[in-house]
Amino acid sequence: MKATTLRVKTTPGFCVDGSKLLPASLAAASASELPRIVLQGAGETCALGDLFDIAQTDASTASLVIEGDVAWLDRIGANLDAGSVAIHGNAGDYAGIHMTSGELHIHGDAGCFTACEMRGGRMTIHGNAGDFAAGALPGDMESMTGGTLTIHGNAGARLADRMRRGTVLVAGNAGDFAASRLVAGTVCIGGQVDAHLGYGMRRGTVLLMHAPGRIGVTFTEGGHGFDVFWRLFSRMLAREIAPFASLDGSAPPVRYAGDVAVDGRGELLIVKS
């Protein structure tokens, strides 16, 4: 196996599709083939060697490291099914779309549709994520169906829209319509949330470390007997990222059920301050 490192050499004046840059594919290419890999841009193409300085070393598993700001590089880690990808800088839109396994780490900000329709694996963003993180493509009925997305900064609007399975952890704030139309899965937000939290939510769990400014009238307060679940759940979260480290399972959160406007059976848990 090979570990591939790409260092930004030239920044194009247009967005580039980076879906070809998968660890296993690059590891299988020879040193002479790598610079000639063609990437599709906005109406034009470019060669990998024109954009990056390329280095490869022997490794036990296939991996890819991108060094430099690549906010112009979309679809990084698309369909990732093995190995690891790390970006030391900002990434473009659709990072991790349709990934099924492996690890994707962005040491910067990510664009819109991060982890869109993710099916498995683990994705970590150390900065902020744009709108529709863990969401669905326009017209699609399902978004994230597995895996874990961790955002150490803030998330934009429509976080986890139409999510069906998996886990989303946000250390910071989330924009409008967080967990909207949630079918199942778990969404945990350490900061504040904007308007229309859980709009159209049918099932699943949303955990807030801070009470929102307003809870929709289609959510009803109540529910007991989940102490064992809470102890296990909170301890798991405490091992993840900083905002949840204080959870020890000792004080059950306030629970709301909804969205009853769509006969929803989801739960909204708000940690007591």
pLDDT confidence of residue 272: 79
Q: For the segment 177-204, what is each residue's pLDDT rounded down to a tens digit?
A: 999 999 999 999 999 999 999 999 999 9
Structure tokens at 20: 């070809």
Residue carrying structure tokens 């060094």: 67
Check residue 250 and give its pLDDT. Answer: 79
Q: What pLDDT shows up at residue 54?
A: 95
For residue 214, what are its two tokens? 């307003």
pLDDT at 251 (0 to 100)? 83
List Cβ neighbours of 25 (8 Å cut-off, separation of 6 or more): none
The pLDDT of residue 64 is: 97
Taking the C-alpha atoms of residue 226 and residue 70, their distance in angstroms, rounded to an integer, is: 45
Q: Which segments in the chain show pLDDT lower than 50?
A: none
Torsion angle (degrees, nearest 10) of CA 169, 173, 176, 178? 20
pLDDT of residue 19: 96
Tokens 């829209």 belong to which residue? Answer: 161
Q: Which residues make Cβ contacts (< 8 Å) with residue 198, sequence separation at least 6? A: 178, 179, 180, 182, 206, 216, 219, 258, 259, 266, 268
Percent of the chain having pLDDT more than 90? 82
pLDDT the model gives residue 121: 97
Provide the pLDDT for residue 226. 79
